[in-house]
Structure 1
């Protein structure tokens, strides 16, 4: 940041999107071809239609020349109807073939874009949590929506029809050179100027479209954070400030579009002006040639028609070139996201995950989010089958990090985590995670029904769902809803209380029959009455399988077989509740603080 540049204090202002990507146009096109290739036959049919359309278009001025020179000037109507019929047939054929060609191109383009969207979504789903923690959601939404939409015009019509425009230009040049090469060369004197102008505009337009993509990503990021944090904005009365910030970002996006529109208008108007001047010169010069009987009137009219048709594809090319530049810029950003390799490493030769997990062992595990900033240091412990283990400690002690490592959302920096004596890095990530069910403090519910949130779309018998809800005390709650299991759940469960969301999350975890149940402060942030209900639900769940519990309130883990006490990333105590109290160590201190009548404290 330069000395004069002030830091952006707006919502999401810490994120800066770069506009300098290093991907050539040819590289973007090659990578797009990967998605176009499955539909090459449709693209091929569209290409085959282009020379037919071009030929039928170019024959029209020639038929007009025949009508003038052979029928109008000599006043001979013999065969005139045939010329008119041919002209009409050419016109209607061009219209029909252009419709067919456009439809085929759109069909192929939309299919390719569908595959691109699918590939992008699949890729993003497998990126690590580390990637998402560093990327604003709005930015990712822009890449996966507006950037792909920017490709639509180029992929569905622009790139192929540009080939048709080039065919048209080449055909007109050849025809005019055959008719009168001197007249033709005089008409084409402006072409080098247009080519040079387009090359100059190419640089500026590419830069302008890059800036548009940067600004729209910033706009999406601001909108996402503003909507998500609307309660904070309203509680702190930041509506006016938020509106001012949005206005500034919106104006930056508008100005970026104005710049692209300016270049577009300038290029189009120059091409239009040059075309009009050229046609005027042809009429002036050609009229003299006709009066001198150097060329016929029909040839002059044909020349005018061909030159008008000559500048139509040039104007189209200028417009399509804008679309292409926008698409290339969007493609850069899409493929940059597809090139992200921040994934949990997968072993080339994975081992089968054991059907039953008999032991979980942390063996000298250390972990750092950043180099030399250790969150865990040389942590070792073992959990047997059916054992209930609790993790306690102050905030930042490393409790949730242990859960993150156990579920392979991140990999250990040093040491190893073993399942039945096998390093978990040797298992397929997804198959391995099937063995776990996790209930978090901030549980996430999807928009849909209660049943869909419990089963997550899996085919689970209804009687198993009902048993799971009864075990976690969610049955009565669900039966009280007007629609029972089909009760609508709003986004993130906004229409449910914190306790309701937790009970549904408990049922979701239990119904999937995990080998290991993980509760990460799952009873935190609820009132005492709800906590009692949740605590009973937790006890029912813990009776069923191996469990790892991150404790928020020590009352929830007193019946655990083993309690692991963490402090500043190190495992400093272990034992049962009674043993740890008797040793009068760090756990006993936490217990006294939490149950002190005057100032109840929390374990974390």
Structure 2
């Protein structure tokens, strides 16, 4: 994108408040007129005094314009500041919603730190551009637009000097931008690396401390910072050179204006007041050109981060669901995968000709080695991905024809990572259903065996910490189950929900899960034998393909991969089930 395109799109975010922007712009135009009038009035005052005439009327006009300048400047500054801060908050909120609604595959590919840094740095850059647009950019453009014809009308020779000065500024700025374009892009890349490193390190601070990696990670960050500075310094040097060249051009132009003015006054071809006016024009032009130079530098530095933000915004717009997507409504929970094929963006096959059916209220257990595609099937069901071929039906409706929100409203999930927010226990349970009453929250907690809550000093108001770090593993999982109970969805997904728990804790959680499964269509990614044993149907998956499918007893007797898994202890064994299951498998 060109700088003009970047700037135009940035200003476009002010459109929702175009009425207030128009008022601020009107005051800016008036201020620009006043700025042009002041040097002319100053020149007239000099000529009036030199001619021995009454200077009071001219001074009164000048004073009135000065008073207007002060009042209008305050109003513009106040209005611009408030509007820029308001739009920053709005754009941040709106963009946050779009980014969070992006497909999980996009987040997995780009990473959390990329989204966070791109969003925060971009809204700060946008706010700066909005402020400068409303405070200085517009008034500068209007002032220059008025200055040119006014100067030409007064004297072509003196105007030529101002024209050369303006061209010099433009050429110098273009040269520096050309020299620093790649360098500034490199600076942004180094900024992203630094931010990603810090975000990654802090997220995994327990690992760093446990393995004594703090010094090494700090050293790595220091290296990132040094590389950033190595990329930044040449860019800064070029803009320092540009500033010096601008100052040189300004000084030379001012001297030439005074010299030519002195010659013309001596020859009787110009009044002293006109020379004073042109001196004011030169100072005005220099000031405005310096503002433009600063603005160009500002937008040039913001170019990379704004381009990344626009790409993210466009990706969010493209992922927006079509208006034709309909509401699924409440379902019974009849699931059917029909010849489902799926390829990841890198071409890897995630699912191959997968077909199975689950009737309402039935439980399907999915087992298989790591990387066999178990979680991929769950992601396809929830439309994290859409099938490359085939279709997934719920109550006979193709899931691709319905909105993701209405689809996911019918599915409650409990994952191995409970995924708790750094908020209170009550707020985490309420994630299941917004607007639930306190009684409903407490009933869900009771159904999930969350008896530990009342033993906490703050009860339901207890903060769980970052990712639930202030709670034990079993407590986190039971809150996640309570969340699913409160959602009361007809379809339940349990993705390794108890695999990280010890046996004693798992027994308590399992009781809560059994309550949750009642009268619900359930898909379980299982690791424990008792869970598989209780399922109505077992599916053995490997390489994204169904290898075996049937009841537990059928697969145990079949002598295939599932039987081998049982014999090898590939499923965690319950003591009371082990003897008879192995006997049956043998």
Normalized against structure 1, the TM-score is what?
Answer: 0.87
The question of 1:69 aligning with 2:47 is answered yes
Task: Report what 2:526 is aligned to.
Answer: 551
SS in 2 for 1:79: coil
Q: How does 1:424-573 map to 2 (within 5 A)?
A: 424-456=399-431, 458-474=434-450, 476-573=451-548
Where do 1:81-480 residues align within 5 Å? 81-158=56-133, 161-186=136-161, 188-340=163-315, 346=321, 349-369=324-344, 373-456=348-431, 458-474=434-450, 476-480=451-455
Once residues 321 and 40 of structure 2 are traced to their aligned partners in structure 1, the CA distance between those partners, rounded to angstroms, is: 66
Three-state SS of the structure 2 residue aligned to 1:410 is coil
- Distance (Å, rounded) in 2 between the aligned partners of 1:294 and 1:361: 94
Which residue number in structure 2 is paired with residue 43 of structure 1? 21
The 1:187/1:354 distance shift into structure 2, 3 A limit, reads closer
Give secondary structure in 1 for the equivalent of 2:534.
coil
> Any unmatched runs of 5+ in structure 1?
1-22
Cα separation, 2, equivalents of 1:187 and 1:346: 55
- Give the C-alpha shift of residue 135 in structure 1: 0.7
194-203 vs 26-35, which deviates more? 26-35
Query: Structure 2: any 5+ residue segments left out of the alignment?
Result: 579-586
Checking the alignment, whether the CA contact within 8 Å between 1:131 and 1:342 is kept in structure 2 is no
Mapped to 1, the partners of 2:351 and 2:150 lie a distance apart of: 78
Equivalences, count: 572
Residue aligned with 1:489, SS: coil
Q: Shift in Å at residue 142 of structure 1?
A: 1.8
- Equivalent-residue separation in structure 2 for 1:245 and 1:538 (angstroms): 44
Partners of 2:317 and 2:555 in 1: how far apart?
Answer: 41
Q: Do the aligned partners of 2:338 and 2:390 also contact (CA within 8 Å) in 1?
A: yes
Which residue, out of 27, 32, 38, partners 1:60?
A: 38
How big is each residue's C-alpha offset from its partner over 1:63-110, in whole Å with a ceiling of 9 and x where there is no partner? 322332222x35x4x633443333333223212212222333344444
| C-alpha RMSD of the superposition | 2.7
Which structure shows the bigger proportion of residues in helix conformation?
2
CA distance in 2 between counterparts of 1:47 and 1:377 reads: 60
* Partner SS, residue 488 of structure 1: coil
Relative to structure 1, the CA distance from residue 54 to residue 26 in structure 2 (aligned partners, 3 Å threshold; closer, same or farther) is closer
Q: Residues 48 and 54 of structure 2 are in contact (CA less than 8 Å); yes or no, is this contact kept in structure 1?
A: no
- The range that moved more, 408-417 or 294-303, is 294-303
Counterpart Cα distance in 1 of 2:145 and 2:542: 77
| Cα separation, partners in 2 of 1:343 and 1:587, compared to 1, 3 Å | farther
Say if 1:587 and 1:267 are closer, same or farther in 2 by CA, change over 3 A: same
Give the Cα–Cα distance (whole angstroms) in 1 for the partners of residues 477 and 530 of structure 2.
18
Aligned residues of 1:388 and 1:562 also touching (Cα < 8 A) = yes
SS of 1:448's equivalent? coil
Checking the alignment, whether the CA contact within 8 Å between 2:76 and 2:135 is kept in structure 1 is no
Partner SS state of residue 533, structure 2: coil
342 and 442 in structure 1: CA distance in 2 versus 1, 3 angstrom threshold: farther
Partner of 2:582: none
1-side partners of 2:328 and 2:348: how far apart?
32
- 3-state SS of paired residue (1:237): coil
TM-score, L = length of structure 2: 0.90
Take 2:164 and 2:389, find their aligned partners in 1: how far apart are those partners? 71
Contact kept? 1:46, 1:104, Cα under 8 Å = yes
Question: Does 2:2 match 1:27?
Answer: no
Cα distance, 1:322 vs structure 2: 1.2
Report which stretch shifted further, 360-369 or 307-316: 360-369
- SS of the aligned residue for 2:315 comes to coil
Task: Give the secondary structure class of the aligned counterpart of 2:441.
Answer: helix
Distance in 2 separating the partners of 1:372 and 1:300: 73
Measure how far apart 1:578 and its partner are.
3.6
Check the 8 A contact 1:158/1:324 in 2, yes or no: no
Distance apart, 1:57 and its partner CA: 1.9
| Counterparts in 2 of 1:102 and 1:354: CA distance versus 1, 3 Å | closer
Q: Which sits farther off after the overlay, 434-443 or 410-419? A: 410-419
Is the 8 Å Cα contact of residues 142 and 216 (structure 1) preserved in structure 2? no
